[in-house]
Chain A
């Protein structure tokens, strides 16, 4: 049996809204196993991003228990959460969030710098990641010179370069055309299968959903449906 890398129990997230509060997540419980390739799917405002932020330790739940890779992310100091993200998690964003003044190489190198890896190791690992994603030729370019598909590949390279156990990807294809969206999903699926990296997506993109093994439907902050499916295979 695979171990649970994610255990969420009775999570609530409330935001102050005017006089009162807005409840973005309601009594949400969810488990995830290692090497899953799963997605949070739901309409805008259903709480997908909020949930990913809590899992990533960027935000705290108002109530409930959140254990990610054995760490209690609901009750972590900002420093401990940062260290946890540094070592264990990868983030991929809808807008790529590349660091604008850095080259592609430096962007991908960044997490390794934070981990205080030696220069030689950084060189080698970054090169591998870039090659893996087919963007080695872009190493010296600045982000503003990249196309959308290239930019997201760089972001993926940056997320995987430190070999995290879990990658949180918030609508990674929303800014991509169909062809690029498929390419990106195939790449991530391959990573998932070859390296055993777990992925948790947030999406309302049909193209993304087709690749997922498990779809967790969110509506108004609650899990409406949690279903497994046979994903589209990479070779298709």
Chain B
């Protein structure tokens, strides 16, 4: 198409201005991909972490059990059928006394020989201590505990009377998941059951396989449902980051708009010449619109040129995350590996293209209303 040919020639001739506009647009392109890819990668790894450390294929919760309601731990308990594959967990309220200070927490009993979850429960089995326990590195930091420390742990037994036991920290594990770490301590299920008089009982059954059989007195928690809060948090983060790169896009578009307005003003005589040579005002308008749109196309190419290797490198090697990122409420590993979906790339390209064409078209509409004679004289304001 001739208008494309002409638009291409004009931009090629415009030199620096073209590079400037294309560079800004390419930067926005790469940045949007980067931020979204980062969040998608985070989302993906947070889910993988949650599956590995907490949810496996889904969970049964004993009728009445609600992890957010400590009073439900006593009611929401049941015996589990032997045929079920997976691992039970017993939750009890309790407290520990590091350095004599009381620290309330949830005591979680899990079979020491389980291999379904990434928790290193084997340490419980290997320990020579009388009552070994595991904590995560966040707990260890908060309570200033380390492996080998001994301290007092208290809980209420089945009848509600207090009981206490000296425990030994058999290991400190490093989990990306705060939800298996903060405010809790892991002990061997059988020991906890025995100490609390709750033989064979547990609140949760972590399933090894999805598509479960139905279990009387328990509610099946679909993996998707368990993971939903992660999606929600990531989507919220996406929403807030979206704002910042839309501002960036707006700045780039403003530069493009400025270029267009300026070029329509400065190139009046050229516009008049086009029309005198036989282009209709509409065709000239199209030409200027295409020129603006071509900036975006150049921008996408340019962005692809340096963005592709850069983004690929980051996806392969990950982006190291600071320790403080822990406070975000979602699991975060030591590094995030961004993930770029085709949908994301396509969507971003389309947004940039469409918005660029729009801000180019907007000022170019003026051309169709210009008097060619006035344009030739360069007398338009």
Contacts and interface: CB of A to CB of B under 8 A. Distances in A.
A binds B: yes
Interface of A: 53, 56, 58-59, 78-79, 81-87, 89, 91, 93, 95, 97, 99-102, 106, 110-111, 113-116, 158
B2 A82 contact: no
Q: What 6 A-B pairs have minimum CB-CB distances, sorted nearest first? A: A101-B13, A86-B278, A82-B280, A97-B273, A85-B278, A79-B280
A82 B278 contact: yes
Nearest to B377: A49
Given A101-B10, A102-B9, A110 B277 contact: yes
A116 B277 CA distance: 14
Contact of A114 (B10, B13, B277, B372): B277
B373 interface: yes
Given A59-B371, A97-B269, A101-B12, A114 B5 contact: no
Interface residues of B, number: 26
Contacts of A113: 2, 5-6
6 contacts: A58-B276, A78-B282, A86-B277, A95-B269, A97-B376, A101-B14
B279 interface: yes
Contacts of B281: 78, 82
B6 to A, nearest CB: 7
B8 to A, nearest CB: 11
Nearest to A88: B278
A83 B376 contact: no
A87 B2 CA distance: 16
B309 to A, nearest CB: 32
Contacts of B278: 82-87, 89, 111, 114-115
B283 interface: yes
Given A82-B275, A101-B14, A59 B280 contact: no
B224 interface: no
A58 B283 contact: no
A58 B373 contact: yes
B275 A114 contact: no
Nearest to B378: A95
A82 B279 contact: yes
Contacts of B79: none
B299 to A, nearest CB: 20
B9 A106 contact: yes
Contact of B376 (A58, A86, A89): A58
Contacts of B85: none
Interface of B: 2, 5-6, 9-10, 12-14, 269-270, 272-283, 371-373, 376
Nearest to B15: A101
Given A113-B6, A116-B2, A100 B280 contact: no
The interface centre, meaning the residue of B272, B277, B281, B373 with most chain A CB atoms within 10 A of its CB, is B277
The B interface is mostly helix, strand or loop, or mixed, namely: helix
Contacts of B376: 58, 93, 97
Contacts of A106: 9
B147 to A, nearest CB: 73
B67 to A, nearest CB: 68
Contact of A99 (B270, B275, B280): B270
A125 B5 CA distance: 19
A62 B283 CA distance: 26
B290 to A, nearest CB: 14
Given A85-B277, A101-B14, A116-B2, A79 B270 contact: no
B2 A100 contact: no
A114 B170 CA distance: 83
B271 to A, nearest CB: 11
A101 B9 contact: yes
Contact of A102 (B13, B272, B275): B13
Given A111-B277, A114-B277, A114-B278, 14 more contacts: A58-B372, A58-B376, A59-B373, A81-B280, A83-B278, A86-B277, A86-B279, A91-B277, A95-B269, A97-B276, A100-B270, A110-B277, A114-B2, A115-B278
A111 B275 CA distance: 11
Contacts of B274: 99
B372 A100 contact: no
Nearest to B2: A113
Nearest to A90: B277
Nearest to B11: A101
B328 to A, nearest CB: 51
A83 B280 contact: yes
Given A58-B372, A99-B270, A106-B9, A78 B280 contact: yes
B373 A53 contact: yes
Contact of B275 (A58, A115, A116, A158): A58
A108 to B, nearest CB: 11
B156 to A, nearest CB: 84
Contacts of B12: 101
A158 to B, nearest CB: 8
- Residue among B272, B280, B282, B283 having the largest count of chain A Cβ atoms under 10 Å: B280
A78 B276 CA distance: 11
Nearest to A116: B2
Contacts of B269: 95, 97
A97 B377 CA distance: 11
Contact of B13 (A84, A85, A95, A100): A100
A100 B2 CA distance: 18
A89 B277 CA distance: 8
In this complex, which of B6, B14, B273, B281 has the most chain A Cβ atoms within 10 angstroms of its Cβ?
B273
A58 B269 CA distance: 13
Contacts of B276: 56, 58, 85, 91, 97
A88 to B, nearest CB: 9
Contacts of A81: 280
